[in-house]
Amino acid sequence: MIKVMIVDDQKIFRQGLKMILESQGIDVVGLCENGDQAVKMLSVYKPDVVLMDIQMPVMNGVEAVKLMTGVPVIMLTTFHNEAFITDAIRAGASGYLLKDTEIQIIIDAIKTVLDGGVQMSSEAQQVLVNQFTQIPNEVYDLDLLTEREKEVCLLVAEGLNNKEIAEKVFLGEGTVKNHITKALSKLELRDRTQLAIHVLKSKK
């Protein structure tokens, strides 16, 4: 069973989300009211995925995600703000969704980031693409990649995880991971999120 920790300063929201997720087979192992508490309790609750708000007292979500290594974090917030989105992804978040997102999409996002994927709302995707338009195009030259690497990268941009990509292109998960690692190196990118942004930009 997937273990999730919810971090939000609104008690009603975190308790309500806990009830909904648990009714769908997700094990909510911990509830925290701010980023500082979440960082301190991470080793206690040992979640597989963290769902975290951005605007919180004591320590906000962006500051917290910088300190939470080894676990994927999905920002779940009411704020569709360019600065928040950019800061959250740069800090290391694996996803960015709005709180009014359908519960099934949130559950799918949990599974996606757990498998190494990235999950963004359409609004967040567009903001990130816009943020990266100032980066020189030569850094993002897809011609540096082999045809197989391009194929895998396009599927990363669609939000597929390694297992889904492997099934789609008839490769082993390890091979898919190697293609992604090589693509990141050739394109001088840090992670799958930047890779997805790059592909989305190249298709514009």
pLDDT of 129:
62
For 47-80, how does the pLDDT look when each residue is reduced to its tens digit (9 = 90+)?
999 999 999 999 999 999 999 988 999 999 887 7
Closest among 140, 96, 137, 135 to 118, alpha carbons compared: 96
Confidence of residue 184 (pLDDT cuts 50, 70, 90): confident
What CA–CA distances, in Å, run from 56 to 61, 133, 140? 7, 30, 36
CATH 1.10.10.10 corresponds to the domain 135-202? yes
SS3 content of the chain, % helix, strand, coil (to 5): 60, 15, 30
Average pLDDT, the chain: 86
Q: What are phi and psi of 173, to 5 degrees?
A: -60, -40
Over the Cα atoms of the chain, what is R_g? 17
Q: 61: closest CA among 30, 93, 86?
A: 93
Q: How far are the Cα atoms of 4, 57, 95, 164, 182 from residue 35, in angstroms, in the given order?
A: 15, 8, 17, 32, 34
Evaluate if residue 8 carries a pLDDT over 60. Answer: yes
Q: Provide the pLDDT for residue 17.
A: 96
Q: Indicate whether this model's pTM tops 0.75.
A: no
pLDDT the model gives residue 139: 45
Q: What is residue 77's three-state secondary structure?
A: strand
| Domain spans in the chain, listed from the N-terminal domain onward | 3-121, 135-202
Under CATH, to which class is 3-121 assigned? alpha beta
- Could you report the per-residue pLDDT of 114-154, keeping only the tens digit for each? 877 778 787 777 666 666 555 444 444 677 889 999 999 98
